[in-house]
Amino acid sequence: MNIARPSFLKALLAALALLAVGLPAQAAPPKARVSVGATLPLTGSEARIGGFVKEGYELAFEEVNKAGGLQVGNQKLPVALTLLDDATNQATAVSLADKLINSDKVDFLLGTYSSHLIEAQSTVAEQYKVPYLQGGGGATKIFKRGFKYLFGTISPVELLGTTLMTWIDQQQKAGKLPKPAKIALLWENTAHGKDFRKGVSDFVAQNKGAYIISVDESFALDGKDFSALLGKVKAAKVDLFLADAHLPDYITMHRQYVASGLCHKVVSYGARGSEKGAIDALGVENVKYILSGVWWSSQLAAKPGPSRDFVTAFKARYGGRDPEWFQALAYLSAKTLFAAIQQAGTVDREAVRQKLATMKVKSLLPGGPLEFPAALGQQAQNPFVVQQNTPDGKSPIIFPQDVATGTGVAANPKCPN
């Protein structure tokens, strides 16, 4: 029996190694789909809105797949959404985002809803360098951390306060509101609420002599009893009641506001007031003339364009019901991600991130195209629209004038002079 000598074995192994180096690298298997992950508060205090965001996401995914998928380079790929319930809990939102990236192996992330959840969850996307688009958290604090992979289709809450005050100022200049006007400024003790407070406070500071903030108070998120806070408002005898609240707190606070016999020349709960669910819960009579500033309204579909296309598709999918801004911004976030993937021609995360950072696309938001300015933390800056509830249960847009569908009323005719 012949036994190979050690020197011969070494030479053979060396030759095989050289041969292996010369072989072409085996190509990665082609992608079967584009996988996107998201969590939403489908239970907990924000479950109602979480359900709305889910509708916007699902409509966007259905549209793409019915069209045969996304054109990614030379292949057309279906898109798949893995959606988990974060139960309106920060820790859960964080851990599930980690699961989506490291266990479910998603390519990209769409955001949850609510600023405090997004602030926590987006740190996971940044850590793993996963593009993260969201339209549910407008607090500027989220976008001041220098993150490269976070993109917001939602304009800053600070701009909400400024927009409401701009309309109020027009009414004051027209002699419909007193000067100076005394303000009760109530805000949830979150980054969202602090931004709203800053928007109003900065406007007041820039218009010296026109306004006095007589009550400036914060309250905890998910409150059950606002009677003490409303007592301070009543004692201050203010003209304008301006609060920032998430939907559950708005319903609770305004129910107690009505029960306390309060009435003011202008009443606003920030972005809340026009929601059908809130009107049903509180009654049309109790929400008349409430002012709200929103990121989008289905009334923008009055003119041809992306808003009309979205509203038509949404009504066809969801039994003729009008969408609210929650569904619209969710839909926009998903569609913007899809556009970036197609423009990049790849599912490579870095290539898609770079495309998002420089893209400028037509969107359904008011005020023109959607873009993510780097100097502002990659947060969109599209203007708000102001709506006012009317006695017939509707909420026409009253500002800005170029998209208005109705005329605003000041001072509130429900209140005695």
**pTM of the model as a whole:** 0.83
Confidence class of residue 417 from pLDDT cuts 50, 70 and 90? low
**What pLDDT, on the 0 to 100 scale, is given for residue 222?**
86
**What pLDDT, on the 0 to 100 scale, is given for residue 29?**
56
**What pLDDT, on the 0 to 100 scale, is given for residue 16?**
42
Q: Mean pLDDT over all residues of the chain?
A: 91
Question: Stretch 383-389: mean pLDDT, rounded?
Answer: 94
Q: Is the pLDDT score of 415 beyond 90?
A: no
**What pLDDT, on the 0 to 100 scale, is given for residue 274?**
87
Q: Is the pLDDT score of 5 beyond 90?
A: no
**What pLDDT, on the 0 to 100 scale, is given for residue 303?**
87
Pairing relation of β-strands 79-85 and 34-40? parallel
C-beta pairs of 91-98 under 8 Å, 24+ apart in sequence: 91/120, 92/39, 93/39, 93/117, 93/120, 93/121, 94/120, 94/121, 94/123, 94/124, 96/39, 97/37, 97/39, 97/121, 97/124, 97/125, 98/124
**pLDDT tens-digit profile of 256-298?**
999 999 999 999 999 999 888 888 899 999 999 999 999 999 9
Planar angle of CA 249, 403, 239, nearest 5 degrees: 45
Percent of the chain at pLDDT > 90 equals: 82
The full set of domains in the chain, from first to last, is 34-155+303-376 (3.40.50.2300), 158-294+385-403 (3.40.50.2300)
| Phi, psi angle pair for 299, to nearest 5° | -70, -15
* 361 closest CA partner among 387, 384, 380, 389: 380
**What pLDDT, on the 0 to 100 scale, is given for residue 246?**
87
Cα separation, 87 vs 84, whole angstroms: 9
Position with higher pLDDT, 318 vs 279: 318
Q: Is the pLDDT score of 405 beyond 60?
A: yes
